[in-house]
Chains A and B, each alone.
Chain A
Amino acid sequence: MQKYWTIFSLSWQNEFTYRINFILWRVRNILGFLMVYFLWSGIFLTQTQIFGYSQNQILTYIFIALLVRAMVMSAPSADNIGSEIGSGDLSNYLLKPVGYLKFWFTRDLSSKLLNLSFVVLELTVLYLIFKPDIQPPNILSFLAFLISAILATITYFFLSTTARFIAFWAPEDTWGLAFILFVLIESLGGGLFPLDILPDTFYTILQFTPFPYLLYFPIAIFAGKVQSFQILPVLLQSFVWVIGIYLLNIILWKKGLRTYTSAGR
């Protein structure tokens, strides 16, 4: 455990080494928020409700989305695993007494904690500018939100690393599949809009994919859009996705290691 704590600490310090990079990364998140915010504001210029959402509910939704994105999707592992497998650098890790996936998960946690602390500051500033009437959730919803966000974080880690494992078989394709995955999460995860505005059939089909469990459900639980009796089934479905993707991840990792030839080393 001590070694992972050291990795966490070093990773934390590493983030501060490239301060301008970090600030620019935060700027990127704010820009994304502004686009979504003003897109929705344009709609509410001429009407007070759309798909059952008031302007304030939508604003609350995109505020929470900024928080959940920082928690779920900030992950240095996603940028590195593919290239390390493709270039043969993975061998350096295999020789060390650390679990490769545990190493990257620890680094991800460090990055997430740092991002979360900054996102709280950004949210405070944005809150003072836009003054949304955010209704705090009750204790039950808040707990469910936390569990849902943690499950989403784990799902995202295994999903994104699994996509990178393609590099075991195609070392030059380190992020082709991950790019598709990123586009799907961006569009169908619920970061841009609440997924329940979609037609029923489309919304139902989406629930059979992992995407809504990454952003939409944690945000919807916080915003009170998921009824109390629906919370448990949603959390169970999230848990099933964690297990399913974890198993897929482990199977592909083991198969990949058998194929791995450390080419380039």
Chain B
Amino acid sequence: MKEFRVWLKLTTNTFQQVLTNKFLMGLFLIAKLLRISLFLLFLHFLFQGTDNLAGYSKDQIIFFYLSFNLVDSLSQTIFREVYRFRELILSGRLDFVLIKPINPLIRTLLGGSDLMDLFILGLILSTTIWYGLKTDPTFLNWLLYLVLILNSLLIAASFHIFVLGMGIISTTVDHMIMVYRDLVSLGRIPVDLYIQPIRAILTFVIPLGVMMTFPAKVLMGLLSPEYILISILLSLTLFYLSLRFWGYSLKHYQSAGG
């Protein structure tokens, strides 16, 4: 409860800070909307020259892309503090986080969620539901979709914890979060499009398929119950490993710059 109050306070502060510069916020929102719209436009034009992409229809491919954006935007909103972590390490200010009576992982992972993305999240969510309805899902499909979206967020949390841990161990790395972002962007298209063994790696080693493709597939009724179970087990294992890695990295913190 204490952690929740701190998170709420930090998030409120971040949001107020963002609101003080409405011009910058406007530019960000325009850029993010442009990025999504232009890729959708590209998919639209692409399907003027073909009627399917590896067996998927235009609406299905768009739904895959929108589901990707839903998970991506949600994780950017929730874990935005990770993007500011490097500065905390380089300046040595992580010392001040560690000595405070709050779990440092919660502070560095969730502290200061970026509510700016909430504006476009509403738009992404409504468009995703609109395209999802076109695939005639049942109530159970929607329920499983929601479960797998939450599962994706757990995987995203694990990836972000790994990035935090790497930041502590190697102070020279500042591209790590961007590598994560590029890795995740491979999920803009269903992992079925990648050849083996890349597909297997993207599904089970770096569970990008589980994170970005599986939720959309379950809504379309294209995912068997075994895969749903494997997805959940996989994300729980990854989350556990990321927590162990975080603990390991903290033991190696050298307070460089502090």
Interface residues of A (CB under 8 A from B): 18, 20-21, 24-25, 27-28, 31-32, 34-35, 38-39, 41-43, 45-47, 50-51, 170, 172-173, 176-177, 179-180, 182-184, 186-188, 192-193, 197-199
Complex interface bits, B5-45 against A, C-beta within 8 A gives 1, otherwise 0: 00000000000000001011001101100110011001001
Question: Are A28 and B193 in contact (CB-based, < 8 A)?
Answer: no
Distance in Å from the Cβ of A253 to the closest Cβ of chain B? Answer: 21
Q: List 7 extra interface pairs beyond A38-B195, A192-B42, CB under 8 A.
A: A24-B173, A35-B185, A41-B193, A42-B54, A46-B55, A183-B34, A199-B45
**B103 touches A (CB below 8 Å):** no
Counting chain A CB atoms within 10 Å of each CB, which of B54, B185, B188 scores highest?
Answer: B54
B178 in complex: contacting residue of A28, A197, A198, CB < 8 Å? A28
User: Which residue of B31, B179, B189 contacts A24 across the interface (Cβ within 8 Å)?
Assistant: B179
Measured in the bound complex, the distance between the Cα atoms of B221 and A30 in whole Å is 33
B172 interface contact, C-beta 8 A: yes
Residues from chain A with Cβ under 8 Å of B198 in the complex: 34, 38
Verify B35–A24 contact, CB threshold 8 A: no
Asked whether A184 lies within 8 Å of B34 as measured between CB atoms, the reply is yes
A-B contact pairs, 9 of them (CB 8 A): A38-B195, A43-B49, A43-B50, A45-B54, A182-B31, A183-B34, A183-B38, A187-B39, A197-B45
- Inter-subunit contact A21/B174 (CB<8 Å): yes
- Determine whether B106 belongs to the interface, using a CB cutoff of 8 Å to chain A: no
Contact A24 B176 (CB under 8 A): yes
* Any A CB within 8 A of the CB of B183: yes
In Å, the complex CA distance between A31 and B55 comes to 24
- B179's contact among A28, A43, A197, by CB below 8 Å, is which? A28
Contacts of A176 in B (CB 8 A): 23-24, 27-28, 31
> In the bound complex, how far is the Cα of B46 from the Cα of A45, in angstroms?
14
Asked if B237 is an interface residue, CB under 8 A from chain A, the answer is no
Of A25, A38, A50, the most chain B CB neighbours within 10 A belong to A38
Q: How many inter-chain contacts with C-beta < 8 Å in the A-B complex?
A: 106
> Chain A's interface: helix, strand, loop or mixed, by majority?
helix
Question: Known: A176-B24, A180-B27. Contact between A42 and B53, CB under 8 A?
Answer: yes
Contact: A173 with B21, CB < 8 Å?
yes
- Complex formed: what's the CA distance from A197 to B48 in Å? 10
A43-B54 Cα distance, complex, nearest whole Å: 6
A34 to B4, alpha carbons, bound, how many Å? Answer: 40
Name the CB-closest residue of B to A180.
Answer: B31
| The 6 residue pairs across chains A and B that have the minimum distance between CB atoms | A176-B27, A187-B38, A42-B193, A42-B54, A24-B175, A50-B49
Give CA–CA (A25, B35) in the complex, Å: 21
- Is there a chain A Cβ closer than 8 Å to B57's Cβ? no
Q: How far is the CA of A31 from the CA of B35 in the complex (A)?
A: 18
User: In the assembled complex, which residues on chain A have CB atoms less than 8 Å from the CB atom of B226?
Assistant: none
Q: How far is the CA of A50 from the CA of B35 in the complex (A)?
A: 24
